[in-house]
Structure 1
Amino acid sequence: MDITLEKASDTNASLKIVLTPADYKPEVDKKLKDYGRKVQLKGFRPGHVPASLVQKMYGKSILVDEINSMLSKTVSQYIRDNKLQVVGDPVPNREEADAIDWDNQTDFAFSYTLGLASEFDIDFSDLPTVTAYDIQAGDAEVNSTIADLQQRFHTHAHAEEVGDGDTIYGELKEVNGEFSAKTAFPMNQMADEAKGQFVGKKKGDVVTFVLEQAFPDEKARANATGVKKEEAADLTGEFTFEVDDITRHEPAELNQEFFDKVLGAGAVENEEQFREKVIEIIKSNYTRESDQLLRLDIEKVLLDSTPILLPDEFLKNWLLEVNEGKFTPEQIDEQYDDFTKSVKLQLIKNKIAEKADIKVDFEEVLDVTRQMVREQFGFAAGDNEEMNQTIDRIARNYLLDEKNNGQNYTSTFNRVYDDKIIDYTKSQITPAKQDVTVDEFKALVENR
């Protein structure tokens, strides 16, 4: 076998492969013998079909299959052994392949066009500084969060007169019809222009109003009348509503019952401790967003500081071919910049992984999946062996699910791999830390 790489430029090359009988004949002969033992042909006992007949019937197809398999393995192995930074797939010369005379040739020549990324290196000492933002929760954020929690864990109270956000209970009657029902009107589902007819009313008061004006949305009208949505469309005109009761959501009081509902029984004992926990929760929530912003900034710095040339014409043609008519050349051009950024970033990350000898094993992927299962199902980490075995079984089943061709494992592996590369990069560039308020951080995110 003769393999030759010819580079036309830093980003374009051709790989030429010449096969002789010594390369493929042993495996072809072996498969012909296997066919001879297995083939069943009328007039011959199993295993006694003449070799010449087997050759005539199956020789060409076996030869073609074997050479195609050999080419695929050879090209992949050559790229790996020579550490070629190939982008896209090797494209075979189809005219050359179509011209082969499989009946008479014994030597076969093939060529592939390769798209290559130009050579590059990464010097962490030359990279600009990136900033890791530590989000500080001020009084405004803490008070707002506590107020939201008080609304979420609200209590119910009976009111003397109707307010904007109340729910009113009573009897609804059609003025010129037979419809009547005991029902409830959530004021927050009522049209704003109709609320004035109800706000300020007390128990026993009767309001006359036009139903479709108060509840123009048919779903809200169905909810207010207690009928199906399709029936609510026919309920129109004047109705009366006699107020029997008024309920109102009251924010939960800052007491031990509220603290226990939010954080769990006995987690805190007073308002001061509760506020401290709320600050921790706010910071924890924003830490994930801060980490994501840092990741994006690191990736941008790596891209901006690492010039890489790509075979643009080759890649555009390859994208058109592999997408089989799903995109036009114009659409490829529109999306090409984003595509090349993704390609370059992956090349850079692969280079970092190679320099740092970053690898991911199955146990690491499994650990991340176990944690995902705990979070998804609310399982706490602990020493409960039965629970740990259940988590492990769910995680393994998820990763090894054959229905999606290993995509669950691949996507989780890639996430772990990517995280390790980013973590290593952080250790090399040491991001500068900066305290920011929640509002300042939000502004940073919007500007990105």
Structure 2
Amino acid sequence: MQVTETKAEGLKREIEIVVPASDLEARLQTRLFEAKDKVQLKGFRPGKVPVGHLRKMYGKSLMAEIVNEILTETPNSVISERKERAAMRPEIAMTEDEGEADKVLSGQTDFKFTLSYEALPEFELKDTGGIKIERPIVEVSEEEVDEQVERIAENARTYEDKDGAAEKGDKVTVDFVGKIDGEAFDGGSAEDSDLVIGSGRFIPGFEEQLIGLEKGGEKLVEVTFPEDYGAAHLAGKAATFDVTVKAIQGPTETAIDDEMAKKLGLDSLDKLKEIVRDQIQSQYGLATRQKVKRQLLDALDKEYDFALPEKLVQAEFDNIWNQVQRELTESGKSFEDEDTTEEKAREDYCKLAERRVRLGLVLSQIGETAGVQVGEEELQRAVFEQMRRYPGQEQEVLKMFQENPDAIQSIRAPLYEEKVVDHLLAQVDVTDKTVSKEELMAEDEAEEKIGKGEEATEEKSAEA
């Protein structure tokens, strides 16, 4: 086999590969002799079919199998021998002339094809010891725990039937039909719908208009959907609801004590507060992790600047752009509504795609150098967690992961990235800083854009 590099421009490579007809013939002869003892043909005893006869009947089909095997095996072996790695699946080009192709299958000429790919860039890892990270920490206050316990108590509150008019805090059972311009709209009607007046679950202004109604009472409720309402076709529109009150219940007194905790399946109020505190701390911990990770990735992004595979960047940009387009469609908004233009948005998201690919490559090499690996047990736990998200479809989800390498990679990649981040955080200078929860949860628009999907930066390089 002859391998000739015909292009080497930046990361772009083009390799011409020629497999001599003699090599093809040798492989075909081997295949024919292997088939000789297996093929059963009428008029011939087992194992006595002449090779020439086999060649006449099956030569082209066997040669086609050989050609496909060469196309499958050769790219990886050639790229590996060049001590390179392809950023994406290599492209293969060969003759489209039927006559030339027939000559190859007939063993009359050499088999030629071209391999095109972009190589992953080579770069030196830099010392991370000088990176400084400020880790924001929120101390959970007793007031915050008490507020959450009160909300739990409110949700666990029971109600009992009452006479008279509905008041704020009462639970009412209603039927309603929503209309816009006199026409009922999809999703605007319900029967036996329970609603606590003052809970804020319904459109602003809806609940307050039920105050004063008695059981059996009817009212035309007039409201306007918020401008930022989730359903774009309803946002900002005036609507009416024909409401009928079917039942009214008043809230019972709920004491926040050990008895309430026991009704929730806990030993005591102190145990409930302990669980609530852990949950709040866990939520803050996730936000802290994201802030710290963002700082780390920002620091790495400033340290590295190297050429990127264009197709890998384009693939990442396409993923981002498709997501942006879906979100705009679902919200009914345009780029102008977001104070930008499509051209400017494309420019911004192209930079984001480059950042993700660059960081993915850096994290991949750091992890590889450090020997970071995702264990099978970790991977299985992640798969089982995915299965739990689809009750009743667990076996289908498991089968998908077992049969689809890309699906299992989508699980492995973020696990790998988090382990690389942990490895780096153990090396860099991390200083804790106590902040308020408002400071911790605050995120400006620029941070949100950069951070959107940042947890998937490793995936692009892992796929390669």
Q: Structure 1 length as normaliser, TM-score?
A: 0.67
Aligned residue for 1:421? 420
Correspondence 1:145 to 2:151 = no
Match for residue 260 of structure 1?
Answer: 262
Distance across 2 between alignment mates of 1:343 and 1:314: 7
| Structure 2 residue corresponding to 1:302, chosen from 300, 303, 309 | 300
Distance 1:445 1:145 in 2: 27
Q: Deviations over 1:237-286 (max 9, x none)?
A: 9x9x8x9x853234632210123345x432x465xx75455333211122
Map 1:144-163; keep pairs closer than 5 Å.
144-156=147-159, 162-163=166-167
Sort the Cα spacing of 1:277 and 1:108 in 2 relative to 1 into closer, same or farther, 3 A. closer
Equivalent residue for 2:374? 360
5 Å-filtered alignment, 1:15-414, equals 15-20=15-20, 23-95=23-95, 99=100, 101-102=103-104, 103=106, 105-125=108-128, 128-139=131-142, 141-156=144-159, 162-167=166-171, 186=195, 188=197, 191-192=206-207, 194-198=209-213, 211=218, 213=220, 247-250=249-252, 252-262=254-264, 264-266=265-267, 268=268, 270=270, 275=273, 277-312=275-310, 337-369=351-383, 372=385, 404-405=403-404, 409-414=408-413
Worse-superposed segment, 250-259 or 40-49: 40-49
Give the deviation of 1:160 after TM superposition: 7.1
Cα-Cα RMSD: 4.6
**1:125-159: CA deviation from partner (whole Å, max 9, x where unpaired):** 37643333222223553343122112112133566
Identity, % of aligned positions: 22
Provide closer, same or farther for how the CA distance between residues 442 and 360 of structure 1 changes in structure 2, counting only shifts above 3 A. closer
CA–CA distance in 2 between the matches of 1:275 and 1:402?
Answer: 40
- The residue identity in structure 1 corresponding to 2:367 is A
Give, in whole Å, the separation in 2 of the partners of 1:82 and 1:254: 71
Q: CA 1:80 to 1:195, structure 2 compared with 1: closer, same or farther past 3 Å?
A: same
The one-letter code of the counterpart of 2:286 is R
Match of 1:308, SS?
coil
Deviations, residues 403-435 of structure 1 (Å, cap 9, x unaligned): 753566443333432232222122222433222
Displacement, 1:186?
Answer: 4.9
Matched with 2:177 is: none
8 A Cα contact 2:138 2:434, kept in partner: yes
Question: Aligned residues, how many?
Answer: 377
1:71, distance to aligned residue in structure 2 (A): 3.6
Output the amino acid matched with 1:213. Answer: L
Unpaired runs of at least 5, structure 2: 175-191, 224-240, 319-324, 326-342, 449-464
4+ aligned runs moved over 6 Å, structure 1: 317-320, 373-377, 394-398
In the superposition, relative to structure 1, how do residues 374 and 97 fare at CA in structure 2: closer, same or farther (>3 Å)?
A: closer
Match of 1:431, SS state, is: strand
Residues in 1 aligned to 2:258 and 2:387: alpha-carbon distance in whole angstroms: 29
Query: How far does residue 193 in structure 1 lie from its aligned partner after superposition?
Result: 6.6
Structure 2 residue matching 1:432: 3-state secondary structure: strand
The alpha carbon displacement at 1:236 in A equals 7.4
Q: How far apart, in 2, do the equivalents of 1:338 and 1:38 lie?
A: 58
Instruction: Name the CA distance, whole Å, in 2 between partners of 1:18 and 1:412.
Output: 39
Partners in 2 of 1:152 and 1:408 — Cα distance?
Answer: 39
Paired residue for 1:387? none
Matching residue's letter, 2:210: K
TM-score for both structures, normalised by structure 2: 0.65
Q: Secondary structure at the match of 1:433?
A: strand
Q: Distance in 2 between matches of 1:196 and 1:87?
A: 64
Q: Which has the larger radius of gyration?
A: 1
Q: What is the deviation of 1:308?
A: 2.5
